[in-house]
Amino acid sequence: MVKVFQAADATDLVTELRRSFDDGVTRGYEWRVTQLKKLLLICDNHEPEIVSALHDDLGKPELESSVYEVALLRNSINLAVKQLKDWMAPDKAKTSLTTFPASAEIVYEPLGVVLVISAWNYPFLLSIDPVIGAISAGNAVVLKPSELAPASSSLLAKLLEQYLDSSAVRVVEGAVTETTLLLEQKWDKIFYTGSSRIGRIIMMAAAKHLTPVVLELGGKSPVVIDSDTNLKITAKRIIAGKWGCNNGQACISPDYILTTKEFSPKVIDALKQELEAFYGKNPMESKDMSRIVNSNHFDRLSKMLEEKEVSDKIVYGGQKNRDKLKIAPTILVDVPLDSQIMSEEIFGPLLPIITLNNLEECFDVIRSRPKPLAAYLFTQNQKLKERFALTVSAGGIVVNDIAVHLAVPTLPFGGVGESGMGSYHGKFSFDAFSHKKAVLYKSFIGDAAIRYPPYSTGKLRLLKALVNSNILEIFRVILGLS
Amino acid sequence: MEEVVDQSLREMRDTFASGRTRSVKWRKTQLEAIIEMVKDNEDKMCDVLFQDLGKHSTEAFRDELGFVMRSATTALNCLDKWVVPKKSNLPLLFYPSTGKVISEPYGTVLVLSSWNFPISLSLDPLIGAISAGNTVLLKASELSPNASAFLAKTIPSYLDNKAIKVIEGGPDVATILLKHQWDKIFFTGSPRIGKIIMAAAAEHLTPVTLELGGKCPTIVDHHSVSKDMKSVVKRISGGKWGSCSGQACISVDYVLVEKSFASSLIEMLKPMIRSFFGENPKESGCLSRIVNKKHFQRLARLLNDPGVQASIVYGGSMDEEKLYIEPTILLDPPLDSEIMNEEIFGPILPIITLRDIQESIGFIKSKPKPLAIYAFTKDENLKTRILSETSSGSVTFNDVMIQYMCDALPFGGVGESGIGRYHGKYSFECFSHEKAIMEGSLAMDLEARYPPWNSFKLTFLRLAFREAYFKLVLFMLGLKK
């Protein structure tokens, strides 16, 4: 029987972890590397169980679990282990004449005790990847996995407890109640992956303690398709990025397509052709797609499809099975821009195509909506690529591919506006959980009199010389000769 | 007022959407205009700073005008470099894709500044916002009304007033501003208000930079700096009383020293204060006054605590009419007194004695993380301990306040002392969204990327992701299972 998590438990938990942190448990390089290597062991020894849990929670195909969760985590851990010494080393900073003689550096220090709240769609990746950042930066960390992926949540709790140092790394399972209790505590950082709605609640709670946050949220990631693109590859990549990634239930899933009226029929044909190649004539039977996570989300998506003026715009798919929590890959064309499906993040296997008279119009459409986590463009037109990259505001932009930037550790992954704040992956994860402390080492040589009262117009003149970079004056001043 | 705010926001958003502020030329023109504005209005600026805070023109120039001009000049000189996209190296797995990071302006940002350095704390964030290509609304503090009025009147005649706007007012105006959606909010002030700002920002998922405060401790390890003690005393005194009379977020709040040296330290501080301000500091013209009656009464209350009164070893006189408090030194006021538990922000300097200077670490740790820690020491061991066992926005060894001038160092707090940082390049980054751009090729394609899944594809991808390229080649050649 699981003990009910109460307010006192939350307080005790933070107190205990803070004591561990203050005792220096998590600060040393050895401890951090050991924990990271233990995470690697989890990946090595328990992949089948992880795959199984993900299948229970989401019907996730083995390949997606193996590659998009476990393999990505392995890479993330290995990178951290390899680079940690480098990351932990202080950065030298340049000093200037006004602070001469001095030397300066930036020291990376852990924030303390941090909270990671993860999501249900990639429950292992989105739990452990931030934890990798927290641990490499030397923090004590509490992870709260999503209750909407219960098998994964309980496996995470079991494995982390088994392998990691429980005096500094803990998992709290639960739902709204437990999360609320955790949020009442004072954390040194909160890292949240999930919806914009909850993101606001998290930030509001964080404000009470002036806790900095990283919010990895979502949005409607648009895909703009130019008629000069290689349509076969474009269609394949969109399908793999949408239905091939947790069946559209991903924060950077291609949400809707923008293309010209003229080109749209070709796009639809290409998509239909490749969808059949990937999932066969009966996609509801295909084992290569995750199912819808639960009946709430199923109903949400059904409602989107059943809305008046939307249901008659389906050009492919549309089949549903509530018992099996399956909805077939569905393509719609020119649904009303104010319909539900075009107003909120779809997070499912539905793909609306909005046609434009002129591809130019895509900029206005995208700009009129909240900033998404990702924006995609398929084109060979160099000028269009440049304009898109410069003027479309999104967390990240990918040209001629979908979602891959998530796997690149040298690119910061995060949102802007409604899609979030802060970023991580690679060194950005280490930075996200660190305080960059400025350190100035000053010597006692030379004490410019102009720094001190009594003030006089003479001193004012000298200060101005300093500011106006009158070299001769400056040296006289600094050497205390003036 | 609501109307004014709505209209201003609309105009700034339209201006941003037009793309005008994105051009480097526009940004440089604005930065040049700021420098020109300061140069043209030096006397007027010193004047308003004298009216609001009794600042001497030299102090005004050193801490505010000169600082702003240098900050704008740095931005002007470095802008071309800062706007260049940063190329990212991609792992071989992603060949031939390329990646880079572009710094993109957030959009329309709000800067709320403080009263103690009303010119520099308004213009410096403005410089950051402009160099990053944003449109910006500035609200200076109503507690420095002359500076605020000056900025409101003068900025529009120098800067692009469809992109950069100034609004005056107090908490009621701030409340109206905070109801709106901003793309970024930059606030300098107290932790208490910082929390309110962040909560308001949360409604719109607006990222914030909060430059707050705290009790900045100054450790004096007299064993290792005895040779330079005169310099130590000069720097502490200059830092405490020479900059807005202790009303600064990075001011020396209190001193930690070994009991055996305390009285020597005090006996050195006294003549130093006299050398700065003469026998009658009130008449010296070199000591800023307390900003207003409310803060005066706050400080008076701190000082009038009987336990604190008893600890006064120098100064202590006050003049409410002139908003003057004499440079005051306390020796071991009660640790549970208010003055030892809130940021002093005034010309009162508690000296806390310890048996052993090593105890300073534990003392500092028992309090919220400050914006700065100052330590006068040459003991490498102590330096290491301070760096690794305490946490603060910054640490400065053997000086005070000067880290503010070093724009290669990020300036910002941690914990209660703030979120985010600025100065130099960090100001540019503070107001930018670092956007990742990745470009793939349509020429090559990997079948293994696509369903239907099978064990071949699974093994292929596993090896590819592991970057086990040799094994991958063997696998492809059928030489490995």
Spatial neighbors of B296 by CB under 8 A, at least 6 apart, are B290, B318, B320, B323, B325
Residues B468, B392, single domain; the answer is: no
Longest dimension (CA), chain A: 88
Tell me whether strands B418-419 and B208-211 are parallel, antiparallel or unpaired. antiparallel
Count how many Cα atoms sit within 13 Å of the Cα of residue B197 in the half-sphere of its side chain. Answer: 29
**In angstroms, rounded to a whole number, what is the distance separating the alpha carbons of residues A45 and A43?**
6
- Torsion, CA B239, CA B244, CA B247, CA B253, rounded to 10: 20
Residues B317, B231, single domain; the answer is: yes
What three-state secondary structure class fits A288? Answer: coil
- Residues of chain B in contact with residue A288, where contact means CB-CB under 8 angstroms, are 451-453
Q: Is A216 a catalytic residue?
A: yes
> Helix B171-179 and helix B191-202: axis angle, to 10°?
30
**In angstroms, rounded to a whole number, what is the distance separating the alpha carbons of residues A81 and B273?**
54
Position B247 in a domain: yes
Cβ–Cβ pairs < 8 A, chains A and B? 308
Residues B331, B456, single domain; the answer is: no
Which of A29, A63, A273 to mutate: most B Cβ within 10 Å?
A63
Residues found in chain A? 482
Domain of A58, in residue numbers? 7-217+424-436
pLDDT for residue A225 is more than 70: yes
pLDDT for residue A161 is more than 70: yes
State the catalytic residue, choosing from A43, A245, A251, A362: A251
Residues B180, B234, single domain; the answer is: no
Residues A322, A238, single domain; the answer is: yes
Position B88 in a domain: yes
Spatial neighbors of B451 by CB under 8 A, at least 6 apart, are A239, A240, A244, A278, A279, A286, A288, A289
Position B440 in a domain: no
Give the closest of A210, A395, A408 to B415, CB-based.
Answer: A210
- Residues of chain A in contact with residue B183, where contact means CB-CB under 8 angstroms, are 417
Residues A330, A470, single domain; the answer is: no
Total domain count, chain B: 3
Surface-to-core class of residue A361, CB atoms within 10 Å of its CB (0-12 exposed, 13-18 middle, 19+ buried): middle
- Residues of chain B in contact with residue A423, where contact means CB-CB under 8 angstroms, are 434
Task: For residue A292, give the nearest of A249, A339, A243 by alpha carbon.
Answer: A249
Residues B255, B106, single domain; the answer is: no
Residues B165, B111, single domain; the answer is: yes
Does B54 contact chain A (CB < 8 Å)?
no
Residues B186, B248, single domain; the answer is: no
B168 and B149 Cβ atoms separated by less than 8 Å: yes
**In angstroms, rounded to a whole number, what is the distance separating the alpha carbons of residues A413 and A406?**
7
CB burial string A305-339: b at 16+ within 10 A, e below: beeeebeebbbbbeebeeeebbbbbbbbbebbeeb
Residues B402, B465, single domain; the answer is: no
Task: For residue B316, give the nearest of B330, B328, B304, B307 by alpha carbon.
Answer: B328
pLDDT recorded at residue A476: 57
Reported as a single tens digit per residue, the pLDDT across B5-16 is: 999 999 999 999
Amino acid in position A50:
I
For the segment B185-195, the average pLDDT, to the nearest whole number, is 97
Residues A167, A242, single domain; the answer is: no
Does B402 contact chain A (CB < 8 Å)?
yes
Q: Is B338 a catalytic residue?
A: no
Position B441 in a domain: no
ipTM of the complex: 0.96
**In angstroms, rounded to a whole number, what is the distance separating the alpha carbons of residues B57 and A475?**
23
CATH number at B295 reads 3.40.309.10
Cβ–Cβ of A400/B442 closer than 8 Å?
Answer: yes
Reported as a single tens digit per residue, the pLDDT across A268-323 is: 999 999 999 999 999 999 999 999 999 999 999 999 999 999 999 999 999 999 99
Tell me whether strands A326-327 and A320-321 are parallel, antiparallel or unpaired. antiparallel
User: Which tokens is B278 given?
Assistant: 């003469």
User: Which helix (H) or strand (E) is A400 found in, with range?
Assistant: none
Does B40 contact chain A (CB < 8 Å)?
no
Domain of B388, in residue numbers? 217-412
A466 and A474 Cβ atoms separated by less than 8 Å: yes
State the catalytic residue, choosing from B59, B249, B258, B416: B249
User: Which tokens is B262 given?
Assistant: 């305390």
Residues A212, A256, single domain; the answer is: no
Spatial neighbors of B368 by CB under 8 A, at least 6 apart, are B214, B215, B415, B416, B417
The chain-wide mean pLDDT, for chain B, equals 95
**In angstroms, rounded to a whole number, what is the distance separating the alpha carbons of residues A447 and A463?**
14
Residues B196, B337, single domain; the answer is: no
Residues A193, A273, single domain; the answer is: no
Residues A324, A464, single domain; the answer is: no
Position A11 in a domain: yes
Residues A155, A257, single domain; the answer is: no
What three-state secondary structure class fits B254? Answer: strand
A235 and A270 Cβ atoms separated by less than 8 Å: yes
Residues B132, B258, single domain; the answer is: no
Q: Measure in Å the smallest separation between the Cα of A405 and chain B Cα atoms.
A: 6
The reported pTM is 0.96
Our CA angle for A109, A112, A118, nearest 5°, is: 110
Total domain count, chain A: 3
CATH number at A279 reads 3.40.309.10
pLDDT recorded at residue B95: 83
pLDDT for residue A482 is more than 50: no
- Residues of chain A in contact with residue B60, where contact means CB-CB under 8 angstroms, are none
Reported as a single tens digit per residue, the pLDDT across B129-158 is: 999 999 999 999 999 999 999 999 999 999
pLDDT for residue A1 is more than 50: no
What three-state secondary structure class fits A179? Answer: helix
Surface-to-core class of residue A387, CB atoms within 10 Å of its CB (0-12 exposed, 13-18 middle, 19+ buried): middle
Reported as a single tens digit per residue, the pLDDT across A235-274 is: 999 999 999 999 999 999 999 999 999 999 999 999 999 9
User: Which tokens is A338 given?
Assistant: 């104010």
Position A443 in a domain: no
pLDDT for residue B470 is more than 90: no
φ/ψ of B135, rounded to 5, equals: -95, 150
CATH number at B41 reads 3.40.605.10
Does A81 contact chain B (CB < 8 Å)?
no
Amino acid in position B471:
K
**In angstroms, rounded to a whole number, what is the distance separating the alpha carbons of residues A114 and A189?**
5
Integer-rounded Cα Rg, in Å, for chain B is 27
Cβ–Cβ of A460/B408 closer than 8 Å?
Answer: no
Position B439 in a domain: no
Residues A183, A93, single domain; the answer is: yes
pLDDT recorded at residue B480: 62
